[in-house]
Amino acid sequence: MTDISEANRKHWDTRANDYDTLPWQKKMIGYISQNLVEKREFFGFPLDVKNKSFRLLDYACGPGTISAALVPWTKETVAMDISEKMVEEYSSRFPENVVMEGNLLAEPPWVGVKNGEKVEIREAELEKREELNGFDAAIVGLGFHHFDDWSGALRKLGKRHWNSLTDEQRKMMHKTGFSEEEMGGYMSEAGLVDIDFVPLSDKVVWMMKGKEVERGLFFARGRRA
């Protein structure tokens, strides 16, 4: 595990219980969730709630913000996070979903923990794991800026699904955020095609070091060639 990954794991282990409890967090998450629902067709989700054939990989899932918004249109959701405590929090909220501790972006990737040790898995073995492949979309929410190789992350996640819709929402934090041009560049480097963006109309308020910071958000989508 890289230093960045380990730092992220430790940080989010301490934040699992209060990730979405403050008023500004609730307002921001509510706004993002509303837009995910309203713009779900952009990511390939069916408009009819009765047509539940969609398989979703909610990667870097945290306590389940993405899953909560899209569960009515999802046949099956598989969630993964590097943080043990986030996985526990997610599981308590969505006991019907599959959630696991793991890091598909690591070299080598690992899925699960046994006797206190991360269970490493080769790519060839990973491709045989049915529960980790065949998704209609792999979605990353506000955690994308925490990854230490953005193009590599998109390329690796693109291997996990068929329709290959990859969604990022941001202009956030580390490196203070991404522009659409930057995100499009990372997605192109990852080999994704049909890249498209939907900007969200309103800015959100983000508390950073005790100060209010306004950020614009956009959804980005790409398809594996």
Domain positions in the chain: 3-224
CATH of domain 3-224: 3.40.50.150
Per-position pLDDT tens, the chain of length 225: 555 667 666 666 667 777 888 899 999 999 999 999 999 999 888 888 877 888 999 999 999 999 999 988 999 999 999 999 999 999 999 999 999 999 888 888 899 988 888 899 988 888 888 888 888 888 887 777 667 677 777 888 877 765 444 444 433 233 457 889 988 998 899 888 899 999 999 999 888 888 898 989 999 998 887
Distances (CA, A) of 66 to 10, 34, 63, 119, 168: 22, 11, 9, 26, 11
The model's pTM: 0.84
User: Please, are residues 138 and 157 in contact by the beta-carbon 8 Å criterion?
Assistant: yes
Distances (CA, A) of 130 to 90, 134, 138, 172: 21, 7, 15, 33
Phi-psi region of 131 (alpha: psi -120 to 50; beta: other; left: phi over 0): alpha
User: Please, are residues 75 and 54 in contact by the beta-carbon 8 Å criterion?
Assistant: yes
Give 215's strand partners: 204
